[in-house]
A and B are shown apart, each in its own frame.
Chain A
Amino acid sequence: MISKKELLKITGISYGQLYRWKREGLIPEEWFQKISVSTGQETFFEETHILPRIQKILELKDSHSLEELKKILNPEIHEMAFTIRQLYQYDVFDTKLIKQLVDDEAILNSNEVVILYALSKVKRDITKSFFKLHFDLSLKDFTNFYFDNTKMALINERRDGYIVFYNDELLISDKNVTVTVYDLSLLRSEMLAIIKMNSYARKEEYQYD
């Protein structure tokens, strides 16, 4: 941990700059941690978070607008790109499924990753090993897919599981099938939370090494 005073001394920035960047959303509010000290309360930061962030802001502030800087520092999930190696680190994806659907060198956008996450979840939910999952689409079909209000259903007919995507209502006349519905918007939010959690966990790990 580094105190605010030490931070200003090391980086050469002023109180005004530090708090302006906080107001502008370039430094997350939760990074300002107030801790009780003998003289009252003092603000501390995680060195591993704050020092690279300030260095990055100082590097980019003259060549980029505020909006560009915000996007660079806090990329939204829809702007992220993932390598296959990264996906293995998250520990929520089915490895066999990744090998089956994607090349090792592929870079996936967030839509494709959400579908992979959803399919991995389906595979986890299918506990019986004789269940065969049918998914005939390619991940590329989802590159520009619009997720809002879209649901994914696993239709289980005897030993086979079929994946379908639908928007409004799913009508099935066969009474011998069971249907499990997955909300893709929710899965997308879940995925984002996992990515954030994982990224914090990895930073902690790095800190103690």
Chain B
Amino acid sequence: MRGSMAEIASDLPERRRIEALYELHGREITARLYADCCDRELAQEAAQEAFLKLQGRIDAVREPIAWLIRAGRNWIRDQFRSRRRFADAPMDGDAIIDEVDGPLETVMASETRKQIAMALRQMSVEDRQALVMRFALDWPSARIAAALGTTASAVDMRISRAKSRLAGLLETMGVEGNVA
């Protein structure tokens, strides 16, 4: 999060700076937006829209990462306000299953992936944020704490409880141990 612009040479053309920022933080932005919407395509699209919006104002934005996340969240919010988008959202996980192919099917049964998606949607955004940062971005607790504005111990507690809650949700869905 911090020093994101300092890592990019300021004498580069704006487009190159945005691309460099996208390379450095695009996945982080996508992951954090994913925690909001639980929709891979929507999160990717929102992240790209946010970076495109940065064009022409990169020098005016003080905290580009925070700005990008806000812009992406607002874009997602607008999309969900649209009835059609809302209706198309893969709330039952079917769209996720359809996209699974290749060796991943041998690693994780599509039914399990569907159930994980459904379970994540039943959890709070804060829990999903913490889980995404830990298990998708591999962030240490201190970095997650800085991003969420809390302490590392609180993050550890939140992740522990979130995992427990997820296990309970999966159990109610019939997912048992040794699923992976």
Whether chain B is bound by chain A comes out as: no
